[in-house]
Copies of this chain bind each other. A is one copy, B any other.
Amino acid sequence: MNRRNTASKEIVLHLLERYSSALSQDFLEDRVRGQMDRVTIYRVLNRFCEDGIVHKFMSDEGKYYYALCRGCSPEHHSHDHIHFRCLHCDTVECLPNHVRPKLPEGYTGLISNYWISGYCRKCAPGQETNRQGGRQK
């Protein structure tokens, strides 16, 4: 199973880097409309996940978001950080915090997904807004 360098991979990777935030499949679809098929995006993203350069997580609206892995090797992923959605600019990002809540006696936690919605720094009350009109949907 050797991976190949293809235009599709480049395009998707470039978008993930450019936005430096977590993106949903349908957001990517809008950006590459006409350039490649939905299914190709789907498969490219999942291949990235298999290769450990991207992780995906379920959002509060029931669809996956994909983000570049930062600071975790393919062998050792640490995804115990918080996923944050700004209710104003609708950006989804991975916060640097590491979270390790204490579970009740007898419980073992293996996989986690922490999700918080609110206002990001750029859209904080009192700050000038960051909304970019449909930057994400």
B118 touches A108 (CB 8 A): yes
Within 8 A of B (CB), among A2-53: none
B116 touches A111 (CB 8 A): yes
CB distance from A55 to the nearest CB of B (A): 13
Interface residues of A: mostly helix, strand, loop or mixed?
A: loop
Q: Count the A residues whose beta carbon is within 8 Å of the partner chain — how many?
A: 39
B87 touches A97 (CB 8 A): no
Give the nearest-CB partner of A101 in chain B. Answer: B99
A95 touches B103 (CB 8 A): yes
Interface residues of A (CB under 8 A from B): 57-64, 82, 84, 87, 95-97, 99, 101-121, 124-125, 127
